[in-house]
């Protein structure tokens, strides 16, 4: 079964599931009660199944464990010491690592996410006094970070609240309620529905940590309210990498596209992008998109070996999970929710690539990125997988479409209705997406004239 057909079946399954974005009347109290946990530690990410897998990796001396162990045993300076030492403690049982994680958290540690992981993962070696001190530090961290509404800050407050649940009265439950009910249901879901880019590409890892901790502790899958966004997400991730890898000292990196891309790439950003995909597979390994991601991720050439990336690689990767070859994946993704378009000419590292996102049109070719101006460009651009037309000024085209290439017009006004007139066909009316992209359905294997004009609104 090919990938496109699998994706279509997944969409149909989501529709048949009767997913509802809201809470039925009378269920509010039950929902609120579910946002509490007295589960034993660890509660965050390290459920029984994942912890067994990680400890089995240590016993098998797997490639990822050996790399992580090499860094920890060699006392390499870790950029996120609380996270790394606490994870090493949970998997290896090293009391020294656990105590170092606790000392960091009680001392100079200020990163709320890492503090939450240490409190949760090292709870069994904390003294009563240490637990109370660290709990108070977490509560202060939640309060002090409230003005920060970024996805990463929301994630950190949620992790702290889940770790604290049952240790402090009221504070954890109020914060969990704030994240799930007010932030996710009150801000993020309406933002996605309206086409506002409420979740950026760089938010993917923090978002996945939120999904994991909510499902693991409250049996609530936040994806269910916006199934289309999450079905599309794996392909948006895949297609929004520049084709050429970046060689670094520890490993090669795939570099995610960025607006105004200049200078050296941000390798920490690249590592978190990979970590996001690893955690997507871990969250739902049977989803069609996850199976393609798994095929993409299991190339050990890109395995994260550095001090920042190795703990993430070890935590989330499952090399025993079967995957599909990403060469079966489509080479074009049009994210009409947020108005983004990504096209590759092939899956080879030498491929040409086009991306239209954040209002910017980029072309990657021969190892470099060029920014194109859709307001100036006039000639159709054919990457062999899609035809791109530039419609800001010139709205009369001659287009020859070979095979079944999709055709897109970029540079239009967002969310405007356009009349589309194709030679020998009736005029139709379509609306551009939030990014000003319009997908055209044109005859193939022949040249046709296309005329676009904005539909007049009758008062």
Q: Where are the alpha helices (DSSP H) in 298-363?
A: 310-316
Q: Which of 45-54, 59-68, 344-353, 378-387 has the lowest mean pLDDT?
A: 378-387
User: What are the DSSP calls for 77-125, one per residue?
Assistant: PPSSHHHHHHHHHHHH--HHHHHHHHHHHHTT---HHHHHHHHHHTGGG
Q: Most confidently modeled of 33-37, 378-382, 414-418, 448-452?
A: 414-418
Determine the pLDDT at residue 2.
41
Q: Is the pLDDT of residue 426 over 60?
A: yes
Task: Report the C-alpha gap between 26 and 6 in whole angstroms.
Answer: 37
Task: Report the C-alpha gap between 205 and 217 in whole angstroms.
Answer: 19
Determine the pLDDT at residue 176.
96
Q: What is the dihedral of CA 350, 332, 330, 19, to 10 degrees?
A: 140
Q: How confident is the model at residue 12 (pLDDT cuts 50, 70, 90)?
A: very low
**The two three-digit tokens of residue 392, written as one number:** 């800001």
Q: Give the N- to C-terminal CA distance of the chain in Å, as an integer.
A: 50
Q: How confident is the model at residue 394 (pLDDT cuts 50, 70, 90)?
A: low
Task: List the domains of the chain with CATH numbers.
Answer: 3-10+28-257+265-327 (1.50.10.100), 331-454 (no CATH)
Percent of the chain clearing pLDDT 90 (strictly above): 74
**The two three-digit tokens of residue 163, written as one number:** 């770790």
Task: Report the C-alpha gap between 432 and 415 in whole angstroms.
Answer: 5
Determine the pLDDT at residue 384.
87
Q: Where are the alpha helices (DSSP H) in 146-283?
A: 151-164, 171-177, 189-194, 204-218, 227-239, 267-283
Q: How confident is the model at residue 33 (pLDDT cuts 50, 70, 90)?
A: low
User: What's the pLDDT tens digit per position in 354-383?
Assistant: 999 988 999 998 888 999 887 776 678 888
Q: Which of 71-80, 85-94, 435-444 has the lowest mean pLDDT?
A: 435-444
The CA-CA-CA angle for residues 102, 105, 106, to 5°, reads 85
349 alpha carbon, distance to own chain's centre: 22
User: What number is the average pLDDT over the span 23-28?
Assistant: 40
Q: Is the pLDDT of residue 25 over 70?
A: no
Please indicate whether residue 104 or residue 395 has the higher confidence score (pLDDT).
Answer: 104
Task: Report the C-alpha gap between 229 and 213 in whole angstroms.
Answer: 19
Determine the pLDDT at residue 211.
98
Please indicate whether residue 445 or residue 415 has the higher confidence score (pLDDT).
Answer: 415
Please provide the average confidence, as pLDDT, over all residues in the chain: 89
116 contacts 163 by C-beta, under 8 angstroms: yes
Q: How confident is the model at residue 3 (pLDDT cuts 50, 70, 90)?
A: very low
Q: What is the dihedral of CA 291, 295, 297, 298, to 10 degrees?
A: 120
User: What number is the average pLDDT over the span 444-454?
Assistant: 85
Q: Which of 115-129, 226-240, 254-268 has the lowest mean pLDDT?
A: 254-268
Q: Is the pLDDT of residue 11 over 70?
A: no
Q: Is the pLDDT of residue 19 over 60?
A: no
Q: Most confidently modeled of 65-69, 362-366, 454-458?
A: 65-69
Task: Report the C-alpha gap between 406 and 422 in whole angstroms.
Answer: 15
Q: How confident is the model at residue 36 (pLDDT cuts 50, 70, 90)?
A: confident
286-291: long-range contacts, CB 8 A cutoff, minimum separation 24: 287/10, 287/231, 287/234, 288/3, 288/6, 288/7, 288/9, 288/10, 288/324, 289/7, 289/10, 289/231, 289/233, 289/234, 289/235, 290/234, 291/6, 291/322, 291/323, 291/324
User: What's the pLDDT tens digit per position in 139-189?
Assistant: 999 999 999 999 999 999 999 999 999 999 999 999 999 999 999 999 999
User: What number is the average pLDDT over the span 185-194?
Assistant: 92
Determine the pLDDT at residue 373.
82
User: What number is the average pLDDT over the span 79-102?
Assistant: 98
Q: How confident is the model at residue 457 (pLDDT cuts 50, 70, 90)?
A: low
Determine the pLDDT at residue 22.
38
Percent of the chain clearing pLDDT 70 (strictly above): 91
Q: Where are the beta strands (DSSP E) in 300-392?
A: 332-335, 340-344, 353-357, 360-365, 368-372, 381-382, 387-390
| CA dihedral for 151, 152, 157, 163, sign (positive or negative) | positive
Task: Report the C-alpha gap between 219 and 345 in whole angstroms.
Answer: 41
Sheet holding 387-390, edge to edge: 381-382, 387-390, 407-410, 438-440
Please indicate whether residue 116 or residue 196 has the higher confidence score (pLDDT).
Answer: 116
Determine the pLDDT at residue 4.
41
252 contacts 194 by C-beta, under 8 angstroms: no
Q: Is the pLDDT of residue 314 over 80?
A: yes
User: What's the pLDDT tens digit per position in 203-252?
Assistant: 999 999 999 999 999 999 999 999 999 999 999 999 999 999 999 999 99
Q: Answer yes or no: pTM beyond 0.95.
A: no
């Amino acid at each position: 079964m090919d990938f496109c057909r699998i994706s279509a079946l997944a969409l149909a399954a989501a529709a048949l599931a009767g997913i509802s974005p809201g809470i039925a009347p009378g269920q509010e109290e039950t929902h609120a009660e579910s946002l509490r946990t007295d589960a034993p530690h660890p509660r965050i990410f390290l459920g029984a199944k994942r912890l067994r897998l990680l400890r089995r990796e240590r016993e098998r001396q797997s490639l990822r464990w050996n790399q992580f162990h090499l860094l920890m045993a060699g006392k390499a300076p870790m950029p996120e010491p609380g996270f790394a030492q606490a994870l090493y403690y949970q998997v290896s049982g090293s009391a020294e690592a656990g105590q170092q994680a606790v000392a960091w958290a009680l001392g100079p540690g200020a990163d709320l996410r890492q503090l939450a992981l240490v409190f949760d993962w090292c709870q069994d070696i904390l003294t009563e006094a240490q637990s109370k001190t660290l709990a108070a530090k977490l509560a202060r961290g939640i309060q002090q970070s409230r003005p920060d509404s970024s996805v990463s800050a929301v994630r950190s407050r949620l992790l702290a609240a889940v770790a604290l649940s049952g240790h402090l009265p009221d504070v954890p439950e109020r914060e969990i309620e704030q994240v799930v009910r007010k932030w996710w249901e009150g801000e993020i879901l309406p933002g996605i529905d309206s086409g506002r880019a409420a979740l950026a590409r760089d938010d993917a890892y923090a978002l996945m940590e939120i999904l994991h901790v909510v499902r693991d502790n409250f049996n609530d899958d936040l994806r269910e309210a916006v199934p289309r966004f999450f079905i599309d997400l794996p392909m948006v991730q895949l297609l929004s990498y520049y084709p050429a890898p970046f060689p670094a000292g520890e490993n090669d990196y795939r570099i995610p596209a960025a607006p105004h891309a200049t200078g050296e790439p941000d390798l920490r950003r690249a590592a978190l992008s990979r970590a996001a995909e690893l955690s997507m597979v871990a969250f739902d390994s049977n989803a069609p998109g996850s199976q393609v991601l798994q095929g993409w991720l299991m190339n050990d050439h890109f395995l994260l070996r550095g001090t920042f990336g190795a703990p993430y690689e070890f935590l989330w990767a499952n090399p025993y999970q079967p995957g599909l070859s990403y060469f079966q994946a489509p080479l074009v993704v049009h994210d009409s929710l947020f108005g983004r378009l990504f096209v590759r000419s092939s899956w080879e590292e030498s491929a040409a690539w086009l991306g239209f996102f954040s209002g910017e049109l980029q072309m990657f070719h021969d190892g470099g990125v060029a920014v194109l101006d859709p307001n100036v460009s006039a000639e159709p651009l054919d990457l062999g997988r899609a035809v791109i037309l530039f419609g800001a000024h010139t709205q009369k085209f001659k287009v020859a479409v070979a095979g079944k290439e999709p055709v897109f017009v970029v540079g239009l006004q967002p969310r405007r209705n356009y009349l589309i007139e194709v030679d020998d066909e009736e005029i139709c009316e379509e609306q551009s997406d939030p990014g000003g992209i319009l997908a055209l359905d044109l005859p193939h294997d022949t040249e046709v004239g296309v005329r676009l004009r904005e539909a007049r609104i009758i008062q």
